[in-house]
Chain A
Amino acid sequence: MSVAFPFSAIVGQDDMKTAVLIAAIDPTIGGVLAFGDRGTGKSTAIRALAALLPKIAVVVGCRYGCDPAATGDRLCLECRARQAKGPLKSRLVPIPVVDLPLGATEDRVVGALDLERALARGEKAFEPGLLARANRGFLYIDEVNLLEDHLVDLLIDVAASGENVVEREGLSIRHPARFVLVGSGNPEEGELRPQLLDRFGLSVEVKTPVDLRTRIEVVRRRDAFERNPADFVAKWKKEDDRLRRHIVAARALLPMVEIPDAAQEHGAQLCLALGTDGLRGDLTLTRAARAMASLEGDKQVSDRHLRRVAPSALRHRLRRNPLDESGSSVRIERALTEIFGP
């Protein structure tokens, strides 16, 4: 598909849209998992994100899209060599949003020996894979719960370390691979491994709209888009541009956002009450609340922000109790009411 459906034209699905925006504002939160009903525009929203993102500066000629402002191990080996010779030249490129299709082979994901150059010229050259392309951007996996196990293992490792280590065919290469992991899927197709689940910062439950007006609007916009994609995108461009400026402003505001002690404490209380595993929940919760505050233009994190992001930051970190009929969302809602009041 050459033209993506505009992000701002997506009807409803506020939870999912907010989560995607938060992940775009602060990549360190660690991405979004959109799990839910079929035909709700999960992948539409994520693919639309690419058009919304501001451009970033990359080192000219770098195959991994290194940041010219970075130093040390944040740079690939080639850029470190370049840096030793003088200041790095930079250029602006769109933030990469890379698709990892289900049928991908391992060599394309991690990168491998460049077959063409090896066969034709006998050169041993590395051909970067999807992980290299996704560096400093987004890696999107649709139907993530159906991804083959050996690829999942690989992703879990790279997503945690931010570095792709390739040891194959006599190549020994490492390069930075920091990306925001974005996944979508339908829980009926199977569960996700807890380790992979943990790599996602936020998790949203996507539900089919049950209100007729909303549904009609979805169908109408989709119809208009299909009849004339170019016109439709042009019509929504203003809205998308506004949203992009909003993201840029929020990104700039983010370092200034403070977390008062009270908010920090409330976050910790919430995690304690829910018994989330490890510290990752707490950390993600405060980071997400900060991004939420900056999205709303607030300089201080308040309970309102915490409340807004808590379900998506914690939902997938609760220890599972299969005999508890109420889902994770209900448990979080209960804990929120206990701590923050109704």
Chain B
Amino acid sequence: MLPRISPNIGLQSNLAEPPLAAYLRSLELIAAYDQAEALPAHEYRFHGLSDRVRMLLAHHERRCDEVIAILARGGPATVWQVTQELSWSRGWSSVTGFMRRAVLAEAGAHLRHLADAGMVAVSAAEAGEPDRYASVT
């Protein structure tokens, strides 16, 4: 929990459960500690955990809306294609190296979350091809 930066919640092949759903549940638990001062691992200490939780929940809701809009506009797409279309604070061209892997995993986490919620359809990949996601609306 950081006061300004939203953490990278990324889909990884070795995770037992989809990470975004677990993360959103954890946020709701943290909100109960609103009287506590947050001692974060980066940036600075702050009060107002429930406010911060609301901001992060809204951030992920907007992100999901953005993913759905991309699929509705452009048709079925791979995680890589969706990632390129998403808005990034420093712009896609500035996201390089390890950060590019991280944002790819983040987009994958949102797509998986939406697929689990029935808001996005996943078409099974053919051999050697990546899965494709599509809007269901």
Partners in one complex: no
Chain A positions near chain B (C-beta within 8 angstroms): none
